[in-house]
Structure 1
Amino acid sequence: MQSTLDGAAPPGTVAARFATDAVGSLAGARAALARWAPHAGIDGRVVPADPPEEGATVLVVVPFGPFEMVAPNRVVAVLDDDDRVGFAYGTLPGHPEQGEELFLAERAGPDRLRLTVRIHARGATPIVRLAGPVTRRFQALAARRYLAAWAAATSEESRR
């Protein structure tokens, strides 16, 4: 799908973009992404924990009270050039949403980066679609936590 790369949300999906500035280098952002550091912000773990690779299927496992929610995704793009690094994954059947998320770090100046999480999604089931406003709040909270964890990890990786 790769809709988050060009910015055009598919019909029926809700587009959201969250961004923050971070201190660090692209190498630090790349290293943080390779170990899925943004997902630490939601106490999530990614299985397998290998660096994002186009075509790879990953499970994002997130605690949900006494249970765990498992969200299957496929990496649809990996970006790595002189001015940006990142990846996008699309949801697979069994995920509570249908859509895509992009994690992108762009050079914003010397030792400065702009970290962005872009989401194009809709509920995958009628129940999730009915909970739209609540789902979007959780989505926004998760995106902000992704960014905070990623910014901290990028800064730490850049100091190494």
Structure 2
Amino acid sequence: MSTANEFLSREEEQEIVAAIASAEKNTSGEIRVHIENHTEKPPLERAKEVFHLLGMSATQSRNGVLFYVGVQDRSFAIIGDEGIDKAVEPDFWDCTRDIVISHFKGRHFKDGLVAGILRAGERLKQYFPFADDDKDELSNEISRN
């Protein structure tokens, strides 16, 4: 079983970072990916904790999105900040989650994250379109624990 450090190659990580940059060209939303080995907490609960540890609620429009992956736990969650939750339908993330999980089931982890990130950017642009004065408020780099 791989660990968080072995989950993706350096090249795959760069493709994910590029997908984040591409997705953020469509929206003022801020997207991050966090990968860790194991947690005792349920994935959604841990994702919320990581979201706050990474300072993702500090965006001006409260429109941060976190893709959380627990490698050894084989867990995944996607969450958005309260600005997104107030603007979108309750099942907004379901199709994005399903795209990621379908790739993960085939062990295509990078492809799943890239597809999910690009889908999130497309979905977010109708609620949080990119504006000329937008600035990148959060790092696009993958975080680890």
- Between structure 1 and structure 2, the one with the greater Rg is 1
> Could you say which structure has the higher strand fraction?
1
Fold match (TM-score > 0.5):
no
Normalization by structure 1: what TM-score? Answer: 0.35
| Greater length-normalized contact order (CA 8 Å, ≥ 6 residues apart) | 2
